């Protein structure tokens, strides 16, 4: 009997790549653009391998209904969308892509920061309308501003290197400080409280663990400098969105660049429609919070797109292919 590999959250590029490179496995391959959910679980029936991206939420209940699955290939670095403990209990191996977008996401982080600091969005809008008022487009230099980096893993390290190029002093927080990084770059490690009080710009590059949900909350905002800017290209759950709306509305926070946000699935029209038809209280809260943020001139929201370059996508698929291949060689790699 052929093995069946099922890819969710997939693109035409994914289909072409894996169809070509998995041919030697003589497996049945299926590709679906939509995420795997308990509602469409029949699509994964008889699959020995499933591969998913962030939108697929792999719960214990879902895994219980797929007893034939032996391997989950996450095409992401973060894997908080997968109940890893439930997978281990079911003897399912889970692998991720630990390194693919260090420079990619770091570059996007600075794209958001530069767009905010130089008011790119209103500048484009005024240029298109012809109603130009330079007094409303005054920005600020990055040179000399202190950047606070929360999380100095591979992406955070690239952010720090780029910051050095802008002559920005860096203050960082990480439970596991990197002495070599501190010695080689204009960086000092400090407590979160010190970082909040010192940084002109704060950028998040920490994984979401559940324990650090709403790491950036009303108490954290209260400690920040007036006019500070917040960037998040990590996970939306790290920020209490209601507190973010309040601190932006008060004028305490100078702006926010968000590639990730709580309930980010609601950025899709289909998901918004589903929420209207099947209301859930927290879902409505997220939708209202997002609507308010979208109306604020000092906020940029993008749809979890920091990873999305041709080079990064190739690295994701190459590592995923290696993970699948090594699983069948009984030498699993990048397990979580």
- Where in the sequence numbering do the catalytic residues fall? 235, 264, 304
* Alpha helices (H) in 10-77, listed in sequence order: 12-21, 60-64
Give the position of tokens 């020995």. Answer: 48
* E strands present in 174-301: 187-189, 201-204, 228-232, 253-258, 299-301
The 3-state DSSP class for residue 206 equals coil
Spatial distance between the Cα atoms of 117 and 260, rounded to a whole number of angstroms: 19
- DSSP 8-state assignment for residue 239: B
Q: Which residues of 215-227 are buried (b: 16+ CB within 10 A; e: fewer)?
A: bbeeebbeebbee
Q: What is the side-by-side strand order in the sheet with 228-232? A: 187-189, 170-173, 147-150, 201-204, 228-232, 253-258, 299-301
Between CA 326 and CA 333 the distance in angstroms is 6
Place of tokens 């032996």: 70
Residues 6+ apart with CB under 8 A from 120: 114
Contacts of 159 (CB under 8 A, 6+ apart): 106, 109, 110, 147, 149, 203, 205
Q: What is d(CA 63, CA 90) in angstroms, rounded to the nearest whole number?
A: 8
Between CA 150 and CA 189 the distance in angstroms is 10
CA angle 178, 182, 188 (to 5 degrees): 110
């Amino acid at each position: 009997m052929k093995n069946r590999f099922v890819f969710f959250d997939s693109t035409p590029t994914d289909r072409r790549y894996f169809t070509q490179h998995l041919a030697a496995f003589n497996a049945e391959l299926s590709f679906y653009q939509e995420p795997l959910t308990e509602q469409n679980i029949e699509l994964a029936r008889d699959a020995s391998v499933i591969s998913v991206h962030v939108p697929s939420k792999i719960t214990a209940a879902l895994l219980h209904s797929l007893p034939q699955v032996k391997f989950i290939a996450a095409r992401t670095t973060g894997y908080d969308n997968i109940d890893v403990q439930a997978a281990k209990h079911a003897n399912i191996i889970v692998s991720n892509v630990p390194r693919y977008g260090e420079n990619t996401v770091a570059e996007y982080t600075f794209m958001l920061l530069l767009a905010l600091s130089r008011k790119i969005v209103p500048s484009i809008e005024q240029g298109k309308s012809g109603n130009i008022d330079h007094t409303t487009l005054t920005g600020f230099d990055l040179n000399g501003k202190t950047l606070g980096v929360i999380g100095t893993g591979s992406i955070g390290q690239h952010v720090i290197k780029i910051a050095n190029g802008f002559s920005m002093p860096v203050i960082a927080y990480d439970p596991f400080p990197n002495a070599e990084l501190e010695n080689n770059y204009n960086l000092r490690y400090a407590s979160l409280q010190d970082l909040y009080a010192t940084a002109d710009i704060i950028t998040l590059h920490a994984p979401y663990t559940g324990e650090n949900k709403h790491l950036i909350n009303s108490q954290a905002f209260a400690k920040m400098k007036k006019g500070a800017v917040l960037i998040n290209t990590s996970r939306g759950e790290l920020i209490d969105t209601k507190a973010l709306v309040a601190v932006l509305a008060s004028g305490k926070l100078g702006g926010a660049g968000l590639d990730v946000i709580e309930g980010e699935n609601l950025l899709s029209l289909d998901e918004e429609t589903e929420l209207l038809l099947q209301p859930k209280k927290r879902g409505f809260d997220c939708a209202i919070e997002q609507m308010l943020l979208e109306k604020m001139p000092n906020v940029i929201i993008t749809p979890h797109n920091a990873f999305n370059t041709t080079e990064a996508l190739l690295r994701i698929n190459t590592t995923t292919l290696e993970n699948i291949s090594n699983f069948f060689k009984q030498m699993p790699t990048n397990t979580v």
